[in-house]
């Protein structure tokens, strides 16, 4: 059981983090613009599930290995860079996809969001820096506390990032039927993915 006082301290901090624009929010925005509102929600759910995997690994102590082994950090990081560049190429090549089009892109959005989150090693380092501040070993299982606090953080992220993507998807839905607009939206989302790749490439462990 987590002390209610700790929860009251954690919630505002978690919400502040959820509302701070970051890579996850930009990714969901790009998914919403390119594919539509449903895809952005699926991507947000995938990101949240990926975050929970990071929380589990941090709680089990695997995060310490990532923090201590530069080569492991770099392997995960460059895998993420390559994947984001692949997504950027696909967005620029194919343009925006009609919101009512084939369901395959929407069904892939969850997995894509999860992979993007899992291949960002900075997430697990963030979890290691943030969550332990609210963990009290004297009140019970450390892993259980990690999972509870992580679930609250992931849920808040799902709602905030999902709403951002839904708004973007609703705004762009009318444009995807126009080939020229679809092409422009594809370049916009491709640029976002490429910018996220560059951001991940220049990250440092510190």
Q: Is residue 121 part of a domain?
A: yes
* The pLDDT value given to residue 153: 93
Give the phi and the psi of residue 192 in degrees, each rounded to 5: -65, -45
Q: Is residue 19 part of a domain?
A: no
Domain count, the chain: 1
DSSP collapsed to 3 states, the chain: CCCHHHHHHHHHHHHHHHHCCCHHHHHHHHHHHHCCHHHHHHHHHHHHHHHHHHHHHHHHCHHHHHHHCHHHHHHHHHHHHHHHHHHHHHHHHHCCCCCCCCCHHHHHHHHHHHHHHHCCHHHHHHHHHHHHHHCCHHHCCHHHHHHHHHHHHHHHHHHHHHHHHHHHHHHHHHHCCCHHHHHHHHHHHHHHHHHHHHHHHCCCCC
Give yes or no for residue 140 having a pLDDT over 60.
yes
pTM, two decimal places? 0.81
Whole-number Å distance between alpha carbons of 1 and 141: 9
Q: Is residue 2 part of a domain?
A: no
Neighbours of 180 (CB within 10 A): 9
Q: Is residue 51 part of a domain?
A: yes
What's the angle, vertex CA 29, arms to CA 23 and CA 30, rounded to 5? 90
Buried/exposed 30-67: b ≥16 CB within 10 Å, e otherwise: bbbbbbbbbbbbbbbbbbbbbbbbbbbbbbeeebeebb
pLDDT, tens digit (0-9, with 9 covering 90-100), for 39-57 = 899 999 999 999 999 999 9
In this predicted model, which residue has the larger pLDDT, 47 or 69? 47
Contact 117/193 with Cβ under 8 angstroms?
no
What residue numbers bound the domain in which 135 lies? 28-201
In this predicted model, which residue has the larger pLDDT, 137 or 81? 81
Q: Is residue 169 part of a domain?
A: yes
The mean pLDDT value of the chain amounts to 83
Q: Is residue 8 part of a domain?
A: no
Range of weakest confidence among 80-89, 114-123, 136-145? 136-145
Contact 162/41 with Cβ under 8 angstroms?
yes
In this predicted model, which residue has the larger pLDDT, 106 or 191? 191
Q: Is residue 185 part of a domain?
A: yes
pLDDT, tens digit (0-9, with 9 covering 90-100), for 94-136 = 776 655 455 556 778 999 999 999 998 888 888 888 888 888 8
Q: Is residue 149 part of a domain?
A: yes
């Amino acid at each position: 059981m987590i002390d209610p006082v700790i929860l009251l301290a954690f919630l505002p901090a978690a919400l502040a983090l959820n509302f701070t624009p970051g890579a996850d929010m930009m990714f969901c925005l790009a998914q919403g613009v390119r594919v539509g509102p449903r895809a952005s929600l699926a991507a947000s759910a995938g990101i949240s599930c990926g975050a929970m995997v990071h929380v589990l690994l941090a709680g089990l102590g695997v995060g310490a290995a990532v923090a201590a082994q530069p080569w492991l950090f770099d392997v995960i990081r460059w895998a993420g860079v390559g994947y984001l560049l692949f997504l950027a190429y696909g967005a620029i090549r194919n343009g925006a996809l009609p919101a009512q089009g084939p369901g395959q892109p929407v069904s892939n959005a969850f997995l894509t969001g999860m992979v993007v989150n899992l291949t960002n090693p900075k997430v697990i380092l963030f979890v290691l820096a943030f969550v332990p501040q609210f963990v009290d070993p004297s009140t019970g299982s450390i892993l259980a506390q990690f999972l509870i606090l992580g679930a609250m953080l992931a849920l808040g992220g799902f709602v905030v990032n999902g709403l951002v993507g839904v708004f973007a998807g609703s705004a762009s839905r009318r444009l995807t039927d126009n080939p020229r607009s679809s092409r422009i939206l594809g370049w916009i989302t491709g640029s976002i993915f490429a910018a996220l790749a560059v951001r991940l490439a220049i990250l440092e462990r510190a």
